[in-house]
């Protein structure tokens, strides 16, 4: 497995690849959810193709009071997850390799980013789009795999690829969950034992809401369920159209239920489908 720390070293590896090159962009702290993304990238790449994982804790997508410095960077464990899950290369640049000190060009999606996490984390999706666009330019993947756990991010990346004509197939991978239903996330490691015990109530509350017949009843049911979660402070709960992220007017249309909840000091997000009801 190739480990490339610079753009030049990665491009040397890339230029002799034939077949599909499937990118799994990550910020490291890889868990079994990431391992599943890499394994699915491996299948997608096929026998003649290659899988590249990028590991870069992207400073521009963190707000001033967020966890950029504290974000875990367990390099040896990450390299192991990549190797055992079928990666052929890891691109692990420094911040200086990605952003020149005077960088002044950004990529900004202006509609889908204005809601949900975009409201609570101003500038977050600008940072995500900018770094993903740069990774696409450096890696030149034929495909890229993103987790559906970050549903809004996935919708925004699809929009960016469509609107800026990136020749990259975007593949969403279903959310990987712990046995108790909690969505796998690097941030779960921040939870105390008592908070970790409470966190699965997010998914349970969302599933209870998804049974309801109207969007308003879905959101109200989830809100009531969340009110009973110890240590919880709700950021948002919304039923939206799965692609446009506009409020879901009717449960006759397929939708998505998205939520962000602080458990203690840790902000967790989750989403589930809202299949159409007749
Ligand atoms: O989902 C993530 O881990 C990050 O937002 C991404 C896509 C790697 C960009 O930094």
Same domain for 163 and 190, yes or no, is no
If pLDDT is split at 50, 70 and 90, which confidence band does 125 have? very high
226 in the same domain as 151: no
Pocket probe for ligand 1: among 24, 63, 131, 141, the residue whose CB has the most ligand atoms within 8 Å is 131
Q: What is the mean pLDDT of residues 39-62?
A: 98
User: What is the domain range of residue 30?
Assistant: 2-173
Which residue in the list 32, 34, 103, 124 is annotated as catalytic? Answer: 34
179 part of a folded domain: no
Q: In the listed set 173, 199, 223, which residue is the last one of a domain according to the structure?
A: 173
The contacts of residue 4 (CB under 8 Å, 6+ apart) are 10, 12, 13, 89, 90, 91, 92
- Say whether both 46 and 131 belong to one domain: yes
Same domain? For 230 and 253 the reply is yes
> What pLDDT band is residue 206 in, cutting at 50, 70 and 90?
very high
In the prediction, which pLDDT does 7 show?
A: 98
Query: Do the domain assignments include residue 181?
Result: no
- Rounded to an integer, the average pLDDT of 89-118 is 98
The answer, yes or no, to whether residue 18 has pLDDT greater than 90, is yes
Q: Given 106, 139, 173, which residue is the final one in a domain?
A: 173
pLDDT, one tens digit per residue, over 172-191 is: 999 999 999 999 999 999 99
Examine the fold and report which residue of 173, 200, 227 is the final residue of a domain before the chain moves on. 173
Pocket of ligand 1, beta carbon within 6 A = 25-27, 58, 61, 128, 131-132, 150, 153
- For residue 242, the domain's CATH number is 3.30.1300.10
pLDDT number for residue 197:
98
Tell whether 90 is covered by a domain.
yes
- Cα-to-centroid distance, 88 and ligand 1 (Å): 19
Same domain assignment for residues 6 and 66: yes
Distance 136 CA to ligand 1 centre (A): 13
Label residue 216 by pLDDT band (50, 70, 90): very high
What is the reported pLDDT for 12? 98
Please indicate, yes or no, whether residues 101 and 212 belong to a single structural domain of this protein. Answer: no
Tally the domains of the chain.
2
- What is the per-residue pLDDT for 278? 77
Residues 241, 153 share a domain: no
Instruction: Please identify, by atom number, the ligand 1 atom nearest to the C-alpha of residue 25.
Output: 8
Please indicate, yes or no, if residue 47 is contained in any of the structural domains.
Answer: yes
User: At 39, which CATH number?
Assistant: 3.40.50.620
Q: How many Å lie between the centroid of ligand 1 and the Cα of residue 28?
A: 9
This prediction's pTM: 0.97
Catalytic-residue membership of 32: no
Segment 93-118 mean pLDDT = 98
Q: What is the pLDDT of residue 202?
A: 98
């Amino acid at each position: 497995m190739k480990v490339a720390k610079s753009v030049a070293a990665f491009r040397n590896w890339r230029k002799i690849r034939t077949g599909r090159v499937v990118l799994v962009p990550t910020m490291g702290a890889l868990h079994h959810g990431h391992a599943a993304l890499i394994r699915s990238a491996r299948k997608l790449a096929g026998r003649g193709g290659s899988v590249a994982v990028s590991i870069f804790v992207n400073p521009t997508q963190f707000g001033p009071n967020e966890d950029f410095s504290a974000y875990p960077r367990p390099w040896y464990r990450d390299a192991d997850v990549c190797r055992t899950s079928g990666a052929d290369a890891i691109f692990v640049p420094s911040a200086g390799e990605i952003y020149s000190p005077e960088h002044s060009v950004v990529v900004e999606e202006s509609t889908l980013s204005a809601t949900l996490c975009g409201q609570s984390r101003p500038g977050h999706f600008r940072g995500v789009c900018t770094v993903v666009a740069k990774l696409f330019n450096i890696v030149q993947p034929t495909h890229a795999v993103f987790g559906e756990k970050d549903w809004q991010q996935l919708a925004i990346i699809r929009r960016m690829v469509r609107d800026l004509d990136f020749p990259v197939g975007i593949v969403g991978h279903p959310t990987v969950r712990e046995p108790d239903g909690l969505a796998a996330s690097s941030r779960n490691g921040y939870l105390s034992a008592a908070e970790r015990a409470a966190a699965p109530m997010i998914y349970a509350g969302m599933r209870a809401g998804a049974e309801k017949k109207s969007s308003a009843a879905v959101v109200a049911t989830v809100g009531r369920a969340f009110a009973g979660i110890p240590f919880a402070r709700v950021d948002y709960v919304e039923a939206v159209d799965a692609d446009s992220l506009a409020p879901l007017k009717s449960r006759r249309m397929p939708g998505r239920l998205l939520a962000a909840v602080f458990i203690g000091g840790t902000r967790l997000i989750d989403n589930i489908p809202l299949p159409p009801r007749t």
